[in-house]
Amino acid sequence: MKDNVSNLISAALESMSCDDMLGDAPLPTPQIEHTKDERHGDLASNIAMVLAKAAKKAPRDIAAIIIERLPENTVIERCEIAGPGFINFFLSQSTNLAVIEDALTQGATFGTNNDGGGKPVQVEFVSANPTGPLHVGHGRGAAIGDSLCRLLEASGWQVQREFYYNDAGQQINNLAASVKARLDDKTPDADDWPADGYQGEYIIDVANAFREGATVVAADRTVQASANIRVLDEIKDFAVAWLRREQDEDLKAFGVDFDRYFLESSLYDSDEVEHVVDVLKQHGQTYEKDGALWLRTTEHGDDKDRVMIKREGGYTYFVSDVAYHKNKWDRGFTRVINEQGADHHSTITRVRAGLQGLQSGIPEGWPEYVLHQMVTVMRDGSEVKLSKRAGSYLTLRDLIDWVGQDATRFFLSARAATSQLTFDIDLALSKSNENPVYYIQYAHARICSVMDKAKIEMPNWDVSDGLHNLEQLTEQEELRLALTLSKYSEVVRSATQKLEPHLIANYLKELAADFHSFYNAHKMMDDDRTLATARLALAGASQIVIANGLTLLGVSAPRAM
């Protein structure tokens, strides 16, 4: 609808330009917004105020000329000039209702587009260290990241989902030392327990499995425990594989799959990290100071230069990140999106600086980042912080076990990633209008029930029958619901462009509210069969849009509740 109105305004501006009414300024693209109050129309534009200076006329006068010059059309019923020069557009009934046929005809593809043109995009998300179960922060990353992938696919992108395992470094050494301590029958309160050791009960499980010579089948490898508790490297390999498998199982329970798992250790095994450092040296991007090797990150926008190789030896953690992203670029991913926790904010500038220092054609601002804030979990009015299994944090599996996959996914993606999130367990479990996922799913189930009843009462009925009777839909609740349906494609495009899946969640809450209002105000199976079929068509279109929107969030659309 916005595009239609924008095109009509552009045609009016072309006409005015031909009559030399707008000066020499280039014609702007009209900006169209939905009105907040339906008394002010369906859509509004400030185009007259934008043109006022160039045209040397009062905005209201320009608005009047634009309205006069609009081409004949069946889209706009009438226009009004408001305030200093806004143009409010009241759409025709047929325009508002056209979405019903589009949704019923297109079904599961309604709302999709081909903005991506089949181009590849890689989305990296979750990327947890394989040192313990996934925590709720990883869960938020999984929900947002997977929804981003679904949005991109719905917009014509060829998406690869990637999980980056940090299976190298001191944290992995701490994991191995923790398992070794349990194998030696030590407990976390022992004086010689590893200083940064992991204390959760899962370490006991790993140690027992290693002692028993268990076999672990992970995503890309099979590891059998040697049961030799004196070989730390073998303990390390087994522990990493064990925890990778556990994380994979948690993600499967969450409905999240990956196309590729990438190991940090492979960057060292293939000498890619060393090669990146050599190239940066060759391009004069490094210098030595105080016995360490530094990267000139200030030349690329950082507030200070960063150490690459420490005085005592060993790479700092961001060096492998530079090598990893160079690897992504070499694989042909000219667009890469990283969904990570807000604690990664400090690494963005230095990773991009390292990539620019390579002088390999990687554009500035690559890759893109979506950073999510922390999650606070509340239950019975108190914050829940600890999981017995994890020892020091609440796990994603805890949330799934408490409220189920659907509620967990919806709640974790229902707010902007930049906002801190409070996850209320009691709300997620409630069967009330205050629980948004229940409210939305109930709207879908309610429509399915109506459709089943219609098939019984009208044996030869088909939901498309009502398309011939849409002029019967004249009530306020009917037209409001149709207008909300017409926003769906626009919301999908906006959520994809902004990388903000919470916009889909917000839209679905609005749509569910409008459907429930329509349902409560009017009889669906009216005695007038002509009106009944029209309302059923409107309900059928609502069912399709609710299901499509929930799919983008990885949430089911149940037929009964």
User: Domain extents for the chain?
Assistant: 2-91, 108-113+433-552, 170-257
Helix %, strand %, coil % of the chain (to 5): 50, 15, 35
pLDDT tens digits, 202-252: 999 999 999 999 999 987 779 999 888 888 999 999 999 999 999 999 999
Helix (H) or strand (E) holding 91: strand 86-91
Q: Which distant-in-sequence residues (6+ apart) come within 8 Å of 541 by Cβ? A: 99, 100, 103, 104, 482, 485
pLDDT tens digits, 498-509: 999 999 999 999
Averaged pLDDT of the chain: 94
Q: Which amino acid is at 441?
A: Q
- State the pLDDT confidence band at 7, using cuts at 50, 70 and 90: very high
Quote the pLDDT of residue 331.
Answer: 97
Predicted model pTM: 0.91
- CB 408 within 8 Å of CB 254: yes
Whole-number percent of the chain with pLDDT over 90: 84
For residue 213 the two structure tokens come to 């010579």
Neighbouring CB atoms inside 10 A of 330's CB total: 10
Helix (H) or strand (E) holding 76: strand 76-82
pLDDT tens digits, 104-151: 999 999 999 999 999 999 999 999 999 999 999 999 999 999 999 999
Helix (H) or strand (E) holding 224: strand 222-224
The C-alpha atoms of residue 466 and residue 19 are separated, in whole angstroms, by 46
pLDDT tens digits, 44-76: 999 999 998 888 889 999 999 999 999 999 899
Of 30, 71, 150, the residue nearest 413 (C-alpha)? 150
Quote the pLDDT of residue 440.
Answer: 98
- CB 380 within 8 Å of CB 397: no
Using DSSP, state whether 79 is helix, strand or coil.
Answer: strand
Cis, peptide link before residue 84, omega less than 30° from 0: no
Is the backbone of residue 86 left (phi > 0), alpha (psi -120 to 50) or beta?
beta
User: Can you name the CATH fold of 2-91?
Assistant: Gyrase A; domain 2 (3.30.1360)
Q: What is the mean pLDDT of residues 537-553?
A: 98
CATH for 108-113+433-552 is: 1.10.730.10
User: What order of strands is seen across the sheet that includes strand 292-295?
Assistant: 286-289, 292-295, 306-309
Quote the pLDDT of residue 17.
Answer: 86
The C-alpha atoms of residue 561 and residue 559 are separated, in whole angstroms, by 7
pLDDT tens digits, 247-264: 999 999 999 999 999 999
DSSP 339-389: EEEGGGHHHHHHHHHHHHHTTSSPPTT-SEEEEE--EEEEETTEEE---TT
- The region of weakest confidence among 50-64, 332-346, 417-431 is 50-64
User: Residues 377-408, buried b or exposed e (16+ Cβ, 10 A)?
Assistant: beeeeeebeebebbbebbbbbbbbebbebbbb
* 199 DSSP assignment: -
